[in-house]
Amino acid sequence: MAGFVPDFSGMKIHEMSSHEIREGRRIRIKQYNSFAESAAASTAESVNRRGSLTNFFSPLKGSILFVHGSCATLNQFERLIHAMAPFLIKQGFACESFDQYGCGASEKKKQYDYYSEAELQDDLQAMYQKTKHKKVNYIVGHSYGCSQTIKLVNSLSPAEKKSLTGIILIGGTLPGRDGGHPVMKLPSFMLTWIQPWLSKMFRENAYHSDCDPELVAEAEARSNSNPMYMCKYFYEQTKWVTVEEVSQVDVKALVIHGEQDKILPVDSGRSLAAALRTPLKIIPGTSHQCMEEKPDEVAKEIIAFMSS
């Protein structure tokens, strides 16, 4: 998909570079809204001018929240949302994606506790509560975002789960390794020194060898832009979902995995799917970033799941 330029005709895009999701925590949020009525669009525009987080879903069928993985960015979902756009517009769905605290364009304070698993889960809970639809909701998680999504699901009350129609988990694993890769134990200044090498390793393992070079270069640039103190704080405090927690999930689930994933091998996805008692959908010719590498194929699986 060289020279990718997203065309979201028929959708209204609202982006906030610095929204206070909870007190003292500012994150970047991007919303894609499809409107069935011009009156709804007018309402949206008035809300957008005030710079607030929109939640005006009465004319829409439902909402989809996208949750990226560790030290990633909402940009990783743009190709997938673009591939799903005709379906989303036809069905009347809104989408929300966000840069988790410290990631992408979100605020980055140099305070260790700000990146704790508990703080990030509270951010996700706040994001879901502020953007959820009254009747139909889906959550799409990628990599560590799958673990966060499962923990969010288990934190919801029975009444709240009635409006959570399903979850889509891409490139997840069971079990995971808490605390990240051992290299993250190095001091931040050393991590900064070897950052180009770390980004190169990520590029080679997260993307299939046949992947669009422009996409890979874009991903490497994103990786190199991360401050390494943030990566260290984030990874050292990761706590992956447990087998017991996965067994508690009581909503419909879809598990998708890249056939040649070198970050979290396909057997990781197989274990997660088995624990959720759902089939595993494997995307041929892709690695860990399958939703970027082959967005049309991933979109096809998600649309089939949402339509079933």
Which CATH number fits the domain that encloses residue 109? Answer: 3.40.50.1820
DSSP SS3 for 82? helix
Counting as low any pLDDT under 70, the low residues of the chain are 1-7, 35-59
Q: Which tokens in the block code for residue 230?
A: 């943030």
Residue that has been written with the tokens 């401050």 in this structure: 227
φ, ψ for residue 12 (rounded to 5)?
Answer: -100, 125
**Residue 5, domain member (yes or no):** no
Angle (deg, nearest 10), helices 213-224 and 195-206: 140
Pairing assessment for the beta strands 280-283 and 252-258 based on DSSP bridges: parallel
In a domain, 212, yes or no: no
Whether 119 maps to a domain, the answer reads yes
State residue 49's pLDDT score.
36
pLDDT of amino acid 220: 83
Residue 100 to residue 25: CA distance in whole angstroms:
10
Q: State the residue range of the domain holding 97.
A: 11-178+240-307
Q: Say if 261 falls within a structural domain.
A: yes
Kindly state whether residue 65 falls inside one of the protein's structural domains: yes
Asked if residue 131 belongs to a domain, the reply is yes
Distance CA 190, CA 187 (A): 5
What is the reported pTM?
Answer: 0.91
b/e map of 32-70 (b: 16 or more CB within 10 Å)? bbbbeeeebbebbeeebeeeebbbbbebbbbbbbbbbbb
What's the domain count of the chain?
A: 1
Q: Let me know if residue 80 belongs to a domain.
A: yes
Identify the pLDDT of residue 225.
85
**What pLDDT is stored for residue 42 in this prediction?**
40
194 in a structural domain: no
